[in-house]
């Protein structure tokens, strides 16, 4: 199983949105907090990303930033430029002015806000992937393709843009994980003992896993595996198993019409009652109510 793809699949709750924006100096835009993740890629020019309690982050051509928890922030051409615009669905794509232009690819992803995977939780508030010659060619290719589709729409562009945005998110996360290979989950993906156990949990969450059977997949004794897993990932193996079962269940409730009994079996619970009790403990609401609430949110989107 591809662990990163799995994590993203359970986190996504809707379709991404994006747009191409050109601003001539002086300019400043405020981006309110969003339920999900926001991103920017500087295609031309430069700007500053501002946020409360932090120094401005200088962004140049080719730089990409991801706000995985939808942080409120601002973009501006200069520290003294006021944020006179507020980003919204009816933004002007081009704003003229006397100064130098900046071309930005901006957008957001809908991600589950009620309970998230620890891989996403360990990301910083701002993931900055600076442009470097030869670095992350897949990310650069996705940016180029997106920019072309948005700048010069072709037949089929409406079908092309959403999967390209999905690729952009994947490549942004992959780039960060590559550059931060000592982070908990970055290291776990390649750990010769932990990765096989994690793949087992993700591939078959319904299996009656025990610490001993997971340790056997890891090639370690029960005690050595439990110690290594907890030290690296911050929670015991069976606690993570329960977490993954609940994330999988929430994903199925949001995206499928499977009966609760079927979801219970697919996530390792012997009865609908046992599943409902575990889900309510994790999410604070019964699975049926959770499904109904997500259907209302989808209808209003």
The superfamily CATH assigns to domain 191-300 is Homeodomain-like (1.10.10.60)
With a cut of 50, say whether residue 300 has pLDDT above it.
Answer: no
Which residue has better confidence, 301 or 237? Answer: 237
Beta-strand runs (E) in 96-240:
101-110, 127-129
Structure tokens at 79: 């520290």
With a cut of 80, say whether residue 114 has pLDDT above it.
Answer: no
Which single residue is written with the structure tokens 């290291």?
187
Supply the mean pLDDT for the chain: 92
pLDDT, average across residues 49-72: 95
What CATH number was assigned to the domain covering residues 3-179? 2.60.120.280
Model confidence at 269, pLDDT cuts 50, 70, 90, reads very high
User: In the prediction, which pLDDT does 35 show?
Assistant: 86
The predicted-structure confidence for 221-265, as pLDDT tens digits, reads as follows 999 999 999 999 999 999 999 999 999 999 999 999 999 999 999
What is the helix, strand, coil percentage profile of the chain, to 5?
Answer: 45, 20, 35
With a cut of 60, say whether residue 298 has pLDDT above it.
Answer: no
DSSP 12: B
SS (H, E, C) 213-249: HHHHHHCCCHHHHHHHHHHHHCCCHHHHHHHHHHHHH
CA distances from 174 to 107, 119, 219, 257 (A): 18, 12, 27, 32
The predicted-structure confidence for 178-227, as pLDDT tens digits, reads as follows 888 777 888 888 899 999 999 999 999 999 999 999 999 999 999 999 99
d(CA 254, CA 291) in angstroms, rounded, equals 6
Domain spans of the chain? 3-179, 191-300
With a cut of 90, say whether residue 106 has pLDDT above it.
Answer: yes
Model confidence at 299, pLDDT cuts 50, 70, 90, reads low
User: In the prediction, which pLDDT does 27 show?
Assistant: 96
Read off the pTM.
Answer: 0.88
User: In the prediction, which pLDDT does 72 show?
Assistant: 96
């Amino acid at each position: 199983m591809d662990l990163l793809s799995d994590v993203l699949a359970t986190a996504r709750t809707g379709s991404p949105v994006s747009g191409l924006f050109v601003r001539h100096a002086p300019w400043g835009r405020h981006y309110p907090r969003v339920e999900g993740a926001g991103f920017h890629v500087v295609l031309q020019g430069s700007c500053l990303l501002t946020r409360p309690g932090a120094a401005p982050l200088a962004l140049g051509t080719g730089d990409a930033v991801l706000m995985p928890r939808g942080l409120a922030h601002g973009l501006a051409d200069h520290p003294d430029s006021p944020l006179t615009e507020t980003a919204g669905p009816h933004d002007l794509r081009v704003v003229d002015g006397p100064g130098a232009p900046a071309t930005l690819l901006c957008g957001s992803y809908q991600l589950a806000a009620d309970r998230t995977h620890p891989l996403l939780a360990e990301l910083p508030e701002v993931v900055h992937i600076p442009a470097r010659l030869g670095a992350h060619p897949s990310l650069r290719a996705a940016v180029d393709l997106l920019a072309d589709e948005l700048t010069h729409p072709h037949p089929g562009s409406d079908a092309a843009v959403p999967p390209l945005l999905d690729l952009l998110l994947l490549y942004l996360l992959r780039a960060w994980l590559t550059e931060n290979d000592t982070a908990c989950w970055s290291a776990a993906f390649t750990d010769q003992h932990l990765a096989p156990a994690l793949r087992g949990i993700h591939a078959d969450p319904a299996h009656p896993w025990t610490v001993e059977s997971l340790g056997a997949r890891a090639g370690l004794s029960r005690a050595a595996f439990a110690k290594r897993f907890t030290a690296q990932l911050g929670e015991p193996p069976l606690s993570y198993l329960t977490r993954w079962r609940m994330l999988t269940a929430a994903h199925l409730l949001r995206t499928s019409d499977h009966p609760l009994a079927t979801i219970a079996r697919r996530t390792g619970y012997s009865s609908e009652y046992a599943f409902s009790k575990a889900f309510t403990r994790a999410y604070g609401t019964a699975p049926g109510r959770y499904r109904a609430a997500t259907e209302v949110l989808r209808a209003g989107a």
